[in-house]
Amino acid sequence: MSLEERKIVEAQPQPQPINVLEYEELARPRVQEAHWDFYAGGSDDEVTLRANRTAFERIRLRPRVLVDVSTIDTGTSALGTPVSMPILVAPTAQHGLAHTEAEIATARAAGKAGTIMIASTSSTCSLEEIAEAARGVGGPLWFQLYIFPTLDVGERLVRRAEAAGYKAIVLTVDLPRLGNRERDRRSGFVISFEGNFVSEQKIGSRTRIPLTWDTLAWLRSITPLPILLKGILTAEDALLAVEHGVDGIVVSNHGGRQLDGALAGIEALPEVVEAVSGRCEVYMDGGIRRGTDVLKALALGARAVLVGRPILWGLAVNGEAGVFHILEILRSELELAMVLSGRPSIASIDRSLVKIM
């Protein structure tokens, strides 16, 4: 589709899907095949991609009854920032492939929904453009950071994020190299980093500096912003993260796009939560499609979840309104799940709510 054609498609009246999975079906024909595959695909045989969903089915809910659920409060905070619900917008690349308004639309929708958008280093728009869009609706932002090809470039990104008002840095630690995403290899799709790097030299995805715990110390030294590590799947690394003074951990397998065969996020969550033992906040992503998925993650100790692909489906179907609707569907499903499980507040969601089969 040309840009003009897309604008025509996007201007047409939209259906009103009633759940996230219906958005997926509607989004597919609206996105170029190679771009769809980039969004949808995992690495190798996509074992972990599928596990991210099936792992939720092995967790049963143990609802409580006769609790006063006439008032439900889905509100919580993330690193001290109040959010209307424990559902954040995960950093995903290149929203421009889904919609011409790209991250501008996403940022506005997230802000209006009262939650945090985590902007990706590899966004279509620059971080400053995203910040401006979010500012218009009072939306808090975190910045997802890839450090490459040099620390200098990383530092400049952090400085720009600070200047633009981002409230935290989410350092992705599970991408020392790109996973083997065969769909992209077949389609020839190559990700662009132009959004944030117009003024930088061309960035090659293979020329990275080694990312180690020392890098984290360096990052800690150059910014007062809270730092989260995204991509931790083990108790061992969670302990190291705590020892290195991180403010948060995102338990994640990068949407099944990096190491195939890795634990599903929801499978790894309990050991990370146990290891951390309250010393930093723990988030998770991977496979969230229903309000009950959020409930399960919170019951297993997550402070909030990050939602990735569904945001892109909403964006593709209906731009800002689509993203907003996706977030409202999830919020509404979570609220109902809290009603039906007798947990009227986020704080009341505890481990006894789930049984792993």
Residues that bind a copy of itself (CB under 8 A): 18-19, 21, 44-45, 47, 51, 56-57, 59-70, 173-174, 176-177, 179-180, 182, 185-186, 208-213, 215-216, 229, 231-234, 236-237, 240, 258-264, 267-268, 290, 292, 295-296, 333, 336-337, 339-342, 352, 355
Q: Which is nearer to a copy of itself, 66 or 190 (CB)?
A: 66
With both helix axes pointing from N to C terminus, report the angle between 151-164 and 213-222 in degrees, rounded to the nearest 10. 40
With respect to a copy of itself, which residue has the nearer C-beta, 63 or 165?
63
Amino acid residing at 355? K
- Would you say 353 and 299 are in contact if contact means Cβ atoms under 8 Å apart? yes
CA–CA separation, 211 vs 214, rounded Å? 8
Q: To the nearest whole angstrom, how small is the minimum distance from the Cβ of residue 44 to a copy of itself?
A: 6
Q: CB nearer to a copy of itself: give 10 or 267.
A: 267
Q: How far is the CB of 160 from a copy of itself (least distance, A)?
A: 23
In a 10 Å sphere around its CB, with 0-12 CB exposed, 13-18 middle and 19+ buried, how is residue 250 labelled? buried
Of the pair 99, 183, the CB lying nearest a copy of itself is at 183
Q: How many angstroms separate the CA atoms of 265 and 139, rounded?
A: 27
Q: In this structure, are residues 313 and 326 in contact, taking their beta carbons and an 8 Å threshold?
A: yes
Closest by CA position to 256, among listed 174, 141, 353: 174
Residue of 292, 250, 307 lying closest to 109 (CA atoms) = 307
Residue 40: Cβ within 10 Å count: 18
| Minimum CB–partner distance for residue 50 and a copy of itself (Å) | 10
**CB closer to a copy of itself out of 277 and 332:** 332
- Residue placing its CB nearer to a copy of itself in the complex, 133 or 337: 337
Smallest separation (angstroms) from a copy of itself to the CB of 339: 5
> How far is residue 205's CA from residue 193's CA, in Å, rounded to a whole number?
9
Min CB(159)–a copy of itself separation in Å: 22
Task: List, in sequence order, every beta strand (DSSP E) within 69-172.
Answer: 76-78, 81-83, 87-89, 117-119, 141-145, 169-172
Q: Is 201 exposed, middle or buried (0-12, 13-18, 19+ CB in 10 A)?
A: exposed
Which residues are marked as active site?
A: 254
Residue 100 CB, nearest approach to a copy of itself (Å): 31
Number of other CB atoms surrounding residue 198 within 10 Å: 8
d(CA 292, CA 341): 10
